[in-house]
Amino acid sequence: MIDSVGRRCLFIIMAIGMCTVLVCEAITVAIDKKPSGIAAVFFVFAFEASLTWGWMATVRVYPAEILSLTIDPRARR
């Protein structure tokens, strides 16, 4: 999924998704009724899904692409 969608696009889309889910969760918690409590639990899982798909996977891959893999000992001077 990372290669097909792209790293930057995946970061942005999932960040917007996490923001939207947290706003929806805040609204459902403010209502304070039983069905809204069930919806709030759903939004917690939706947030975790967005975090996992968008950030946890790409954060481990992205630094290796932007940093050099070779270390030059002369660069430490």
pLDDT of residue 1: 72
Q: Where does the chain show beta strands of DSSP type E?
A: none
- pLDDT at 73 exceeding the cut of 70: no
When pLDDT is averaged across residues 55-63 and rounded to a whole number, the result is 77
- Mean per-residue pLDDT over the chain, rounded: 83
**Residue 17, pLDDT score:** 93
Output the pLDDT for position 67: 72
Chain segment 25-56, per-residue pLDDT in tens: 999 999 988 899 899 999 999 999 999 888 88
Using the predicted structure, report yes or no on whether residue 9 has a pLDDT greater than 90: no
Domain range for 13 is: 2-76
Q: How far is CA 27 from CA 33, 42, 48, in A?
A: 11, 13, 18
Provide the domain count of the chain: 1
Number of C-alpha atoms within 13 angstroms, CB side, residue 69? 4
CA distance 2 to 60: 11
Cβ(17)–Cβ(76) below 8 Å = no
